[in-house]
Amino acid sequence: MKSPRKKSIKLLALFLLFSGGRLLAQQLPQYTQYMYNTSTINPAYVNENNRLDATITYRAQWVGIDGAPETKALTITGIINNRMGLGLNLFKDNIGPSTEFNSNAVLFYYLNLSKKVKMSLGINAGVDFFEVDYSKGSYYDQDDVLFSYDNYYNALPAIGAGIYIFNDNWYVGFSVPNLLLNKSNVVGDTNLIQRDNHMYFIGGYVVAINSATKLKPSILVKTIANAPATIDASLNVLFMQKFTLGVSHRFKDSFSAMAGFQISKNFFLGYSYDYSTSDLGDYNRGSHEIILKYLMPRWGPNARSPRFF
């Protein structure tokens, strides 16, 4: 077993990496079941089925580590005419002494590239609220002027864009949730918060094994300045339009198991468990994620069975 001192060093490094510290960029929340809630990472995503789609997500990351990330998110999207849709993305992220609340409105427009292929363009705009409670935790340098503040609070603008190309069997997409390189100063020229661009690349393909079974491999690549790329590769299976089972691997970070159940025509419940393979695996009991999706009953002449993405 590692010594308490080594554990403290690990947890300090964890805090510096994810708290948006003075010299490091703050990262957006990560999701294992992003393929069931793509709107969280790409404003251009469209279910293209004349349906209102509302999803609640709860994620507890690295259970067992004090101050580990905890995320709550709500996304709502829907088509308002034959070409255009609106949405709303909200999330609250708690990491150590920091709390982030993000609110974004979404607008997307899609068009036909061919008889079978469509393209959607989306934008999002909103505000990112950030708070640090310095009364929580202890610090090596108690005389640092930054820690003389009990609380730090600020609100920063967020503007992003995305593109999503798809047909009934496959999809690819690219998005940047925030194009602004936000910085916020609390003392002189010292950057307390620095938000770098996050870029997301997604892709997936659905293979019909038979009339009751569909297979979907997918991939997500996230890049951010001054940090290694994050690559998620997943494989999901849909049985009888009711049950889903899947596995995922986040390279150099974790393995995940996923399961979902179509509770009714309008409600889907999903769960995932991540097992850490990084050095942090010695100090946590994995990560849990739950999603609950609501799909309004279909309407209109183009209503059809939902796609497996």
Confidence label for 47 from pLDDT (cuts 50, 70 and 90): confident
H or E element in which residue 14 lies: helix 4-18
134 neighbors 152 (Cβ within 8 angstroms) = yes
pLDDT surpasses 80 at 196:
no
> Is 188 domain-assigned?
yes
166: tokens are: 């798809």
> Is 110 domain-assigned?
yes
> Is 117 domain-assigned?
yes
Q: Domain of residue 267: give its range.
A: 4-295
Q: CATH number, domain at 196?
A: 2.40.160.40
pLDDT surpasses 50 at 7:
no
d(CA 113, CA 106): 22
> Is 305 domain-assigned?
no
158: tokens are: 């967020």
Residues 6+ apart with CB under 8 A from 3: none
269 vs 26, higher pLDDT: 269
> Is 81 domain-assigned?
yes
d(CA 199, CA 185): 25
Task: Please state the rounded mean pLDDT for residues 267-287.
Answer: 90
Task: Please state the rounded mean pLDDT for residues 144-151.
Answer: 60
> Is 251 domain-assigned?
yes
What is the pLDDT at residue 19? 41
* Nearest Cα to Cα of residue 42 among 130, 110, 101, 132: 110
132: tokens are: 């640090």
Task: Please state the rounded mean pLDDT for residues 184-197.
Answer: 56
Q: What are phi and psi of 53, to 5 degrees?
A: -120, 115
What is the pLDDT at residue 146? 57
Q: Report how many domains make up the chain.
A: 1
What is the pLDDT at residue 108? 94
- Identify the residue whose tokens are 């002027």: 145
Is residue 79 helix, strand or coil? strand
96 neighbors 67 (Cβ within 8 angstroms) = yes
| Mean pLDDT, all residues of the chain | 82
> Is 303 domain-assigned?
no
What is the pLDDT at residue 200? 96
> Is 72 domain-assigned?
yes
d(CA 79, CA 82): 7
| Lowest-confidence segment of 105-109, 218-222, 257-261, 278-282 by average pLDDT | 278-282
pLDDT surpasses 80 at 18:
no
Compute the half-sphere exposure of residue 105: CA atoms within 13 Å on the CB side of its CA.
4
| Lowest-confidence segment of 51-55, 89-93, 120-124, 167-171 by average pLDDT | 51-55
- B/e letters for 4-21, b = 16+ CB within 10 Å, e = fewer, are eeeeeebbeebbeebbbb
